[in-house]
Structure 1
Amino acid sequence: MATRLKGKDDAWLAQPPSRLALPLLVGGALLSAGLVLFAAGEWAPAAGFAAAVLVIAALLSWFRHLYPPAPADSEAMPDWTVARAAADASNVAIAVTDRTGRLLCASDLFGEWFAGYPTPPALIADPAATEKLTAAARKAWKDGEAAVRGMAHGALRLDVDICRTGRAEDYLLWRFTPVRQPSALDDVHRLLTGEAGRQLGEAGVMAVMIGGEGRIRAANGAFLLRAVGRIDANATGRDFAQHMRVDDKGRLFLAREQSGGLPLRLLQVPLRRATQAGGGQDGPMLLLLIDEPGGGGGTSALSYIETLLSLLPFGLAMADRDGRVLFLNNAFGRAVGLNPGEKPSYPGDLVVREDQAAVADAVRRFAVGPQMSGDIAVRMRDQPDEPTALSLAGVRGLGEAAVLLSLKDNSEESKLKRQVAQATKMQAIGQLAGGVAHDFNNILTAIIGHCDLMLMRHTPGDSDYDDIQQIKSNSNRAAGLTRQLLAFSRQQTLRPQVLQLPDIVADVSNLLKRLLGESVKLEVSHGRNLGAVRADPGQLEQVIVNLAVNARDAMPQGGTLNIQTYAVPAARVREMRSQIMPAGDYTALRVSDTGLGIAPEVLAKIFEPFFTTKELGKGTGLGLSTVYGIVKQSGGYIFAESELGRGASFVIYLPVYQGADAHQPAKPQAPVRRSETWGTGTVLLVEDEDMVRAVAERALVRQGYKVLTASDGEQGLEVLAGDERIDLLISDVVMPNMDGPAMVARARRTHPDLPVLFMSGYAEEQLRKSIDIANVAFLPKPFSVSQLAEAARDALALRPPAAE
């Protein structure tokens, strides 16, 4: 960078070097040529020497143009962006000033702490602080560095370090570092939540830090375990007093331990710095809680025994010689069905009236006689149908206590037994229902088939036409009943699709409005971000309809039916702490009504088959059992909630489908227009039920097929091995001797391309593993003549074309 020089007479010296070079070079060359001419006396050497000087000068000028000299250090401008970026990456604020006191560079943090980017040392309004910084700056210019410690700036305390820097040491670098102020609260918090707090807990000391308002700020694991129930619980912000209780003797206890806890000694340690800041004795405190087994010298041996007995997991109680109850622990209260805090006067108050005399007599005998023990069978007041063993033992040396009574808390065990028994019963009934449905489907197939054959010979208006039509209608109604049995036993055939629950609710809403009538109002609401589910849409519609009809019947005077769909993430499932439903993402469907509600004794039976509260002839008792079966077969869960007089709610949880096509719900396919069912060819019909085989044979013959029959798989193979060419094999699945799948497996060895149509009264899903054979179709029973003809036509279409 060129520097401007003062003085008018020397202005030409300020010209750039490139402008002065030409006159100087020409003058030098002429002077050199004159000297050579004077010395040699000839023009040629003089002219050559001048030309050489000019060439050398030109080469040097060209070289200087290609490689210009680097600027002097004093002319280079410093780049402060690197220093600023380095400062912003740390928690240190920096500023740079020059000798004139100008602020040349400052970090972003400096601007946050000192608004407006003031120039040091005039940073804050405090004159004393400004004077200290000014003196430190002078010292830094003189000695190279200086420091100011603990400068107060609002809530901050800063250490200021000043040093002289730069190549010419003509800058001052100011560094401002925050100082962490010692705090008793922080120290105590680290103590309680760290290793020291754990060691205090192992020594039996519960430690809590509370604020001046009495709320917990920190606690060690020992306090959390006993006061809250979990060592990893978060008690911050809770009222400390709510976790404590004081008895009538002024002793301090943990509220969660109720009557079975040990008395505690409380030590208070004021945190002085926080107390002084608060201006009194209401500041934060450290509280230490220690058990006092002796109860401060006022607890008797009996009280100490009571405390120990309260910790046992099985029910124990103590009675005096007159039979009055002195003490009972929580497990005993739960076993006999007492409310928390309730205490009976006599043991006889806990049993049914018929057993009260026996209990009172047993207590008197064990109280006054020798120390002995024994059991008596009693029936509790809240469980009169389940005899329970009450153990009694005479005790001595415990003051007023004379008899120790023990009773095992088997409520959870009894509940588990009932659940296992219920599951076993439901499974047995399901197997029975599946077998009954299979046999019944064979009978219905024959009835419906013969009705179809007779209807082909009669026309509307004939005397028998209406009767035959009525028989067929009742048979179809019976077929629906068998489908309900299969749904309950989870053996029905499902056609699952990826779908959204709101779409299913929308499809069935118009039907529901007609079913509910004018007195019941339908309300529908849908949540956001619902995951897709995989289920049979037709079966889900049946679930909603069944629940809606039950809700309508529960609101004879009218009311509101509310249908909701909402998302249930895995975190919420874990919060529910369900022992049945595993954690995962679900889409829920809730059907609620404002009806009469369901009694508790009925609520446990509502999903059982054939259980109904309706009048005789107004319900089969299969509605809710069908709902239960469909939901379980779809991989979901259903729960019922109700209170008498407050309506009922049924909540269905279906797992969110996680497949690749989860975000592409299946679109309903348009019905395929079927062609003519008339056909040709030879059909082998294998069926062990004579009535089904007869009606199927007649139906196929009427459609133009030649039919060969067999009563089991072995006969079918014999017919297949004959000279007759078989175009289609129709077979029952379950048959004596050799069943259908085994026969087809043998037949495919000699007839690999033979199309097969299986028919069965069992559901396709139940037989899927056994009939999982290529080029096989399935027809569920019962079926009509037209359905059999259509299935035969479609199965023949599976046959590959003959080679030409």
Structure 2
Amino acid sequence: MQVDNYGTVLLWSPKAEAMFGWSRDEVIGKSLGELAICGDKNLGSAERIAQVVQKLENGISGWRYETITLRRDGSEIVTEISLTALRRRDKIIINMFLRDISQRRVAEEQLRQAQKMESVGELTGGLAHDFNNMLTVITGTIDILADAVADKPQLAAIAALISGAADRGAELTANLLAFARKQPLQPRAIDVNSLMTDVCKLLHPTLGRQIEVETVLGNDVWPALIDPGQLSSALVNLAINARDAMPNGGKLILTTGNLEVLPDDFKFKGILAAGRYVRVTVRDTGTGMPEAVLDKVFEPFFSTKEPGRGTGLGLSMVYGFVKQSGGHIEAESDVGHGTTFRIYLPKAIEQPKQLAEPAGEPRAESGNETILCVEDDASVRSFVLTQLQSLGYKTIAAENAADALALVESGEPFDLLFTDIVMPGKMNGRQLAEAVALLRPTLKVLFTSGFTENDDVINHSPMNNDVLLLPKPYRRADLNRMIRLALESPMPAIIQDRRVSAQS
């Protein structure tokens, strides 16, 4: 494109025609101001060109900037404009090189948002991990105090208050871990349409009569690899948020379908890997959200509700769960017309299977076996040892994986390895269990963790039903029950597979 120092178009290239929708005959001899092509919200085209002319007078012939430009149909595009001014006798000719960078801007914004959420998630996950260790001691000992003051009503009431607060704290850390993408997941192939139908049965009484629920389930929807319980919770969470956005009633529409992301699909660049996904959409006809709110909607503790009407963790939980599952969630909103959330779930390779009813768990009895307890937090380790000994078990303690492995190599006898997954040092709990399995063929293992730190035992892949995990924080009864279950269960398949591969 070429203009004079008044902004009159002298040259209009085929590329400019394709970019802006104006033909050459329509623009030659007209000013950019009339066409509103190169104006922006802060500075019009005439002022821009005047600045270029002034720069030329100062010996500067080139200039580059980015701005919003308008197409013939009124749509906006982000454009990079490079200007070069040339003096020809008594005239000034300005060459303009324009490039549409709208997609690049979108990709940069998506990357910036992803990096911000990742940083917040790392901080959140670390805090939740430390808080879980403290809660493990609190929730584990409150039962003992409650038993001791059972015959003293006033003290028993105080113990109940402490117990309730500890439970709320545990729920809060679980929510934080969900956002941080460090919660234990058990993904499997599921029929999303069937799950959606089941969820809708729960929604009708929850949302009330003033909310109409409509489902549009796609044909031949692929199976999704996802934790069904977490997906159900996510859908209910989105539905409740939609209800709150429709105080005078409205409509909630749930849809499903398939989506194939191609390698050159710019919309999902850096967000979703190329492949097949199941798309779940939750749309409401509520009040909608302005852009400033929409930009923060997945951040933890951000809420537009009144104080006391929520923690601000609902949507951040959904975001973390979907991201941890290898999917993506996006939101768009129109003030006064409603909000739409789209969830993209990875397609499962296998077909959904009907799960058998879980076998009955062994009774929570005490025992006299020897347990090797590996826990780096001194307070938690002391609590666990005290509880196990009170239940009749013999205990051996190790502060980290290296110390535990040294005990095993020395020939120390034990019946169960009870180990934290996330520990300082070169070896985590999973690696410790694999190393010990090579030395003790009949090893029994019970894992515990305040968060998963991307460990393959319980994260990013379907957890084998034989791998036992006791999430922190836990109560004394939970510890007792899982210890017995671990001692009386077959050896975890993850350990068997490791030993077989090492011997082959």
Q: What TM-score comes out, normalization by structure 1 length?
A: 0.50
2:88 aligned partner? 396
Equivalent position SS for 2:254: strand
1:692 aligned partner? 380
1:305 aligned partner? 11
2:498 aligned partner? none
Equivalent position SS for 1:464: helix
In the aligned structure 2, how far is the partner of 1:656 from the partner of 1:775? 24
Shifted more, 725-734 versus 745-754: the winner is 745-754
1:763 aligned partner? 452
Quick check: 1:679 aligned with 2:367?
yes
Alignment of 1:454-603 (within 5 A): 454-459=145-150, 462-565=153-256, 567-568=257-258, 578-580=267-269, 586-603=277-294
Q: Residues 728 and 756 of structure 1 are in contact (CA less than 8 Å); yes or no, is this contact kept in structure 2?
A: yes
In the aligned structure 1, how far is the partner of 2:229 from the partner of 2:440? 38
Equivalent position SS for 1:463: helix
Change (3 A) 1:541 1:460: farther
Quick check: 1:794 aligned with 2:482?
no
Q: Residues 138 and 166 of structure 2 are in contact (CA less than 8 Å); yes or no, is this contact kept in structure 1?
A: yes
Shifted more, 773-782 versus 537-546: the winner is 773-782
1:14 aligned partner? none
Q: Residues 683 and 706 of structure 1 are in contact (CA less than 8 Å); yes or no, is this contact kept in structure 2?
A: yes
Quick check: 1:352 aligned with 2:45?
no
Structure 1 residue 747 displacement after superposition: 4.0
Quick check: 1:624 aligned with 2:283?
no
Q: Where does the alignment leave 5 or more consecutive residues of structure 1 unmatched?
A: 1-258, 261-301, 315-324, 329-337
Q: Residues 685 and 697 of structure 1 are in contact (CA less than 8 Å); yes or no, is this contact kept in structure 2?
A: yes
1:235 aligned partner? none
1:187 aligned partner? none
Structure 1 residue 596 displacement after superposition: 0.7
Structure 1 residue 689 displacement after superposition: 1.0
Q: Residues 637 and 652 of structure 1 are in contact (CA less than 8 Å); yes or no, is this contact kept in structure 2?
A: yes
In the aligned structure 2, how far is the partner of 1:577 from the partner of 1:410? 12
Amino acid at match of 2:327: G
Amino acid at match of 1:393: A
Change (3 A) 1:380 1:791: same
Q: Residues 131 and 173 of structure 2 are in contact (CA less than 8 Å); yes or no, is this contact kept in structure 1?
A: yes
Alignment of 1:278-427 (within 5 A): 305-307=11-13, 310=16, 326-328=30-32, 342-343=35-36, 350=40, 352=42, 359=48, 362-363=51-52, 365=54, 373-375=61-63, 391=83, 393-396=85-88, 402-404=93-95, 409-427=100-118
Change (3 A) 1:677 1:529: same
Once the two structures are superposed, residues 676-720 of structure 1 have per-residue CA deviations (whole angstroms, 9 ceiling, x without a partner) of: 322222222222211111221222122221223232334434555
Alignment of 1:233-248 (within 5 A): none
In the aligned structure 2, how far is the partner of 1:370 from the partner of 1:685? 76
Amino acid at match of 1:352: N
2:23 aligned partner? none
Structure 1 residue 773 displacement after superposition: 12
1:439 aligned partner? 130
Change (3 A) 1:380 1:638: closer
In the aligned structure 2, how far is the partner of 1:582 from the partner of 1:527? 23
Change (3 A) 1:389 1:569: closer
Structure number with larger C-alpha Rg: 1
Q: Using the aligned pairs only, state the percent identity.
A: 34
Alignment of 1:81-120 (within 5 A): none
Q: Residues 184 and 458 of structure 2 are in contact (CA less than 8 Å); yes or no, is this contact kept in structure 1?
A: no
Shifted more, 679-688 versus 457-466: the winner is 457-466
Q: Residues 419 and 429 of structure 2 are in contact (CA less than 8 Å); yes or no, is this contact kept in structure 1?
A: yes
Equivalent position SS for 1:654: strand
Alignment of 1:729-744 (within 5 A): 729-737=417-425, 739-741=428-430, 743-744=432-433
Amino acid at match of 2:51: A
Structure 1 residue 445 displacement after superposition: 0.9
In the aligned structure 2, how far is the partner of 1:377 from the partner of 1:670? 64
Equivalent position SS for 1:692: helix
Structure 1 residue 400 displacement after superposition: 7.4
In the aligned structure 2, how far is the partner of 1:365 from the partner of 1:591? 54
Change (3 A) 1:796 1:365: closer
Q: Of 104, 119, 141, which residue of structure 2 is paired with 1:428?
A: 119
Equivalent position SS for 1:547: helix
In the aligned structure 1, how far is the partner of 2:356 from the partner of 2:308? 37
1:175 aligned partner? none
Structure 1 residue 594 displacement after superposition: 1.1
Q: Residues 372 and 394 of structure 1 are in contact (CA less than 8 Å); yes or no, is this contact kept in structure 2?
A: no
In the aligned structure 2, how far is the partner of 1:777 from the partner of 1:303? 73
In the aligned structure 1, how far is the partner of 2:465 from the partner of 2:15? 69
Amino acid at match of 1:705: Y
In the aligned structure 2, how far is the partner of 1:441 from the partner of 1:396? 74
Once the two structures are superposed, residues 562-587 of structure 1 have per-residue CA deviations (whole angstroms, 9 ceiling, x without a partner) of: 2233x3365x9999985456776554
Equivalent position SS for 2:298: coil
Equivalent position SS for 2:88: strand
Return the structure number with greater relative CO, CA threshold 8 A, min gap 6.
2
Equivalent position SS for 2:341: strand
Amino acid at match of 2:16: S
Q: Residues 446 and 483 of structure 2 are in contact (CA less than 8 Å); yes or no, is this contact kept in structure 1?
A: yes
Q: Residues 298 and 319 of structure 2 are in contact (CA less than 8 Å); yes or no, is this contact kept in structure 1?
A: yes
Once the two structures are superposed, residues 437-493 of structure 1 have per-residue CA deviations (whole angstroms, 9 ceiling, x without a partner) of: 222211111111111222232327622223222222222222222222322232222
Change (3 A) 1:454 1:649: same
Once the two structures are superposed, residues 245-300 of structure 1 have per-residue CA deviations (whole angstroms, 9 ceiling, x without a partner) of: xxxxxxxxxxxxxx99xxxxxxxxxxxxxxxxxxxxxxxxxxxxxxxxxxxxxxxx
Equivalent position SS for 1:763: coil
Alignment of 1:251-262 (within 5 A): none
Structure 1 residue 543 displacement after superposition: 0.9
Equivalent position SS for 2:153: coil
In the aligned structure 1, how far is the partner of 2:403 from the partner of 2:466? 22
Q: Of 703, 708, 711, which residue of structure 1 is paired with 2:399?
A: 711
Q: Residues 222 and 258 of structure 2 are in contact (CA less than 8 Å); yes or no, is this contact kept in structure 1?
A: no
Structure 1 residue 544 displacement after superposition: 0.6
Equivalent position SS for 1:602: helix
CA root-mean-square deviation: 4.3
Once the two structures are superposed, residues 233-254 of structure 1 have per-residue CA deviations (whole angstroms, 9 ceiling, x without a partner) of: xxxxxxxxxxxxxxxxxxxxxx
In the aligned structure 2, how far is the partner of 1:765 from the partner of 1:673? 28
Q: Where does the alignment leave 5 or more consecutive residues of structure 2 unmatched?
A: 3-7, 21-28, 71-77, 492-504
Q: Residues 352 and 381 of structure 1 are in contact (CA less than 8 Å); yes or no, is this contact kept in structure 2?
A: no
In the aligned structure 2, how far is the partner of 1:445 from the partner of 1:636? 31
Q: Residues 391 and 406 of structure 1 are in contact (CA less than 8 Å); yes or no, is this contact kept in structure 2?
A: yes
Structure 1 residue 743 displacement after superposition: 4.5
1:752 aligned partner? 441
Change (3 A) 1:545 1:379: same
Once the two structures are superposed, residues 79-128 of structure 1 have per-residue CA deviations (whole angstroms, 9 ceiling, x without a partner) of: xxxxxxxxxxxxxxxxxxxxxxxxxxxxxxxxxxxxxxxxxxxxxxxxxx
In the aligned structure 2, how far is the partner of 1:371 from the partner of 1:720? 79
Q: Residues 364 and 480 of structure 2 are in contact (CA less than 8 Å); yes or no, is this contact kept in structure 1?
A: no
